[in-house]
Every structure is written in C-alpha cells, then in structure tokens.
Amino acid sequence: FARGEVRQAYDLMAARVAAAPSPDDLAFAGDLAAALGRAAEAGRYYTLAQAAWISDAPDPGRLARFLAERNRRPVDALRLATEAASTRRDIFTLDALAWAQYRNAMLDEAQATIAQALAIGTRDRTIRAHAETIARARAAASRSARSGGR
C-alpha cells in the first residue's frame, strides 16, 4: 500500500481477513476497498470492524477513533471517546477524543485534547497528523470569524 500498490495490498489483506479477521485488519481492508472505488465493499468491511470492536475485542477508544477517522457516526464516536477518556488517559484514547471532537466541530476542545496527547512528545504519525489538521481547522475558523464569515 505504501508503494501505491493498492490492488496487491487489497488482495493480501482480503486473504488475511478471510483467515483471521481482526478489527484493525477489517478496517484497513475497508480503507483499501474504498481506495479502489468499491464503496459497498468498504462499507461491509467497516461494519464488520465496528461489530468486532463491540463484541469480539471490545475497545471503545479504538472504535471511537475508527468511527471518527472515517467520519462514520461522528456523534457516536464522540460519545464513545468521551466515555473511554473518562477512565483512560493514554495518548491513543486522547487522540480518539480529539478527533471525534474535531469531527463534531468542537475545535477548541479538540485542540486542548490533542495538546494533552502530544504533551509527552509522541512521534506517532497519526496523532501528529490529527494535531496538524485540528490546528489548521482552528486557524481557518478564526480567520473566518475575524472576516465576518466572508
């Protein structure tokens, strides 16, 4: 996938999830199907990943991050992430909460939450990319507010 060989990556991932599906692998298979323009197939993989995070490998924080990253059910993602963050304050749960806040246009809250996730100096690319996107969105919203929404 990193080399741009989406079809080959999809074939490998489809075989992997057929043998031993995990929520992460199902989500990635959905991403690959979406990249190939197979929306219905991607939706099926995403539904299976969601179900696996609920029943097979319960992890509300991971489910929230999955939903928020793919902009699926953003209100549910926010609820799940908020619940997860009430008991877990690790960088991945905080990132899930920040991204769910971002998807729900709660930009100030998202900035504060992602700052907590970054506070230990993580090098995680996804968390850093989320932080950059949140910062850009806040800056754009600030510019728009200063110009009167024009």
Please report the pLDDT score of residue 146 as a whole number: 79
Predicted pLDDT at 60: 87
More confident residue, 146 or 47: 47
What is the per-residue pLDDT across 86-141, written as a single tens digit (0 to 9) for each? 998 899 999 999 999 999 999 999 999 999 999 988 999 999 999 999 999 999 99
Instruction: Find how far residue 41's CA is from the centre of its chain.
Output: 19
Q: What is the mean pLDDT of the chain?
A: 91
In the block, tokens 């024009």 appear at: 150
More confident residue, 58 or 31: 31
pLDDT, residue 12, reads 92
pLDDT reported for residue 150? 58
First to last CA, the chain: 40
Sign of CA dihedral 63, 66, 68, 72: negative
What is the Cα–Cα distance from 60 to 54, expressed in whole angstroms?
A: 7
